[in-house]
Amino acid sequence: MEAFIEMEGSHLGGRYDIRKAMEAGRKKSEKLDVSFGQYFDHTKRLLKLFRMWELDASSPKWQSMLIVTSTAMFLTCNFMIGFSEMMKLRTAPDLANAVSCASSLWLHLIGFVKWVYLAWRVRDVIQLVGQLEDCYYLSLEISETDEDYSQLQNQMNAARKSSVRFSYVWIIGVTYGIIHWCLNPLFFKWRLSRIDVSLAMSDRTLPYKSWSPWDLTRVEVYGYVYLIQVLGSLASSIGSIAYDIFFLTLVMMICAQLSYLNYSLVDKSHGCPTTTSSEKKTLTFAFIRNKLIRSKNHHDAILAFLTSLQNITSPVMFLQCIGTIGILCLVSFEVMTLKLKGDIANVIRVWSMVEYIGSCFAQLFCFCYYADQMTTLGLKVSDSTYSSGWESMTIDEQDSASYRKSIGFLVREIMVRAQRHVQLTGGPFYVLSLRTYRAVVSAAFSYSAVLREVGAE
């Protein structure tokens, strides 16, 4: 970020101080009472709640201790259930049992890694959000009219609303799915008690197939193991929920920034027959130069932010893509091979698996959709720059050649940089886009069909 701040506009005959531009945007935000925090605070509160963001120094000690203790408890239970599932996978008697263990193991592993990764790189995460805040201040500094300011606020508010809606839907949906899955053994136990009380008393089914060194026939031991599995699965869901909301909020915000950058670049009078001659005279050399310089540095700040976002999130997104393929493959195989036989217990088990598959579809689709939208808006910057009205600016005849050359150089520089795809990837193999989404889903079902053939043999 320091290298980005020190950039110069020497080809335009002077230095453009980006620090001053950011400070001007910050002062404007304070004057208008539109700080960046109002768009991101809902995500920050969630991260603080689970120790994925540094706590305030003014926070009460009891609150800090409670957060640290609950985080340690959840992660310990998550590790224990993951370890027991790996041990069970090693001794699985057949393919069906191995697939069942592997699918739940993937779920718990991904959630555990997301939580630990965010907690481990908390300082990088805070710095990343700071870069996004700088982008916001630069966009505020671009705003010169009430119409521009209104457009920026509309874009940012729309991104915030989308993030809040996703947060509520994702928290409720994932929590419901986990609780539903964990309650299935109790429901099956209740069903057995309706048939034969002795069968219900001897049943010791757990939510997830796992290895246990303890005697589960004892009620108190079964209760402890059951509680560990519930807390461990909730921990994996917390890790996934927090990371997904954090990642998508950042992508939504940067989409809003790119959308506003496109809006601010385009000459509003371009191609408009009702534009008066006095309005056209505003397209002076100084006006076009300032607009292009501010837009260029705003665009550079966005690219710097996306580079940092890519460096931080790429390893986890690689695990996410691989894990999604594995989960979809394994769970769809379980659904296809499960025999219902009219038993309500099996129907509920299939319904839980369908919920599981649906959440995986929705999760990957959201990642790919917003990443694809970001790429589209990034490429659109080139067209918006060309439509900035630079060819219609009014300049003195004696300075015509040099001024047009300097503006033309700046226009070409922005357009060339904007034509490079801004993409988010999952490791070295996956580019997050709707095309990748189709490929991943297709591959998952292809692999599940192969597994089914192997199982039939």
Give domain status of residue 25, yes or no.
no
b vs e for 74-105, b when ≥16 Cβ sit within 10 Å of the residue's Cβ? Answer: bbebbebbbebbbebbeeeeebeebbbbbbbb
Highest-confidence segment of 7-21, 224-238, 385-399? 224-238
- pLDDT (0 to 100) of residue 12: 39
DSSP code string of 36-83: THHHHHHHHHHHHHTTSSPPPTTS-HHHHHHHHHHHHHHHHHHHHHHH
Evaluate whether 122 touches 52 at the Cβ level (below 8 Å): yes
- pLDDT tens digits along 293-333: 888 889 999 999 999 999 999 889 888 888 888 777 777 77
Write out the residue range of the structural domain in which residue 432 sits. 36-456
Give domain status of residue 368, yes or no.
yes
Answer yes or no: is pLDDT of 341 > 60: no
Residues facing 426 on adjacent strands: 430
Instruction: Round to whole Å and give the CA distance between 330 and 241.
Output: 22
Beta-carbon neighbour count of residue 352 at 10 Å? 17
Give the residue among 34, 266, 270 at the shortest CA–CA distance from 136.
34
Q: How many domains does the chain have?
A: 1
- pLDDT tens digits along 66-125: 999 999 999 999 999 999 988 888 887 777 777 778 888 888 999 999 999 999 999 999
Is 0.75 surpassed by the pTM of this model? Answer: yes
Answer yes or no: is pLDDT of 15 > 50: no
Give domain status of residue 27, yes or no.
no
Give the residue among 405, 292, 412 at the shortest CA–CA distance from 9.
292
Tell me whether residue 135 is exposed, middle or buried, using C-beta atoms within 10 angstroms of its C-beta: 0 to 12, 13 to 18, 19 or more.
buried
Answer yes or no: is pLDDT of 437 > 90: no
Query: In which residue are the tokens 């799915």 written?
Result: 177
State the average pLDDT over residues 41-51: 91
In the predicted model, what is the mean pLDDT of the chain?
81
- pLDDT (0 to 100) of residue 4: 40
Give the residue among 133, 130, 75, 137 at the shortest CA–CA distance from 108.
75
Instruction: Round to whole Å and give the CA distance between 446 and 319.
Output: 20
State the average pLDDT over residues 180-198: 69
Evaluate whether 290 touches 260 at the Cβ level (below 8 Å): no
Write the CA distances from 308 to 163, 263, 302, integer angstroms.
21, 25, 10
- pLDDT (0 to 100) of residue 92: 79
- pLDDT (0 to 100) of residue 396: 59
Residues facing 394 on adjacent strands: 284
Give domain status of residue 223, yes or no.
yes
Give domain status of residue 24, yes or no.
no
- pLDDT (0 to 100) of residue 452: 66
Least confident of 119-123, 294-298, 337-341, 416-420: 337-341
Give domain status of residue 16, yes or no.
no
Give domain status of residue 221, yes or no.
yes
Instruction: Round to whole Å and give the CA distance between 408 and 415.
Output: 11
Q: What percent of the chain has pLDDT over 90?
A: 32
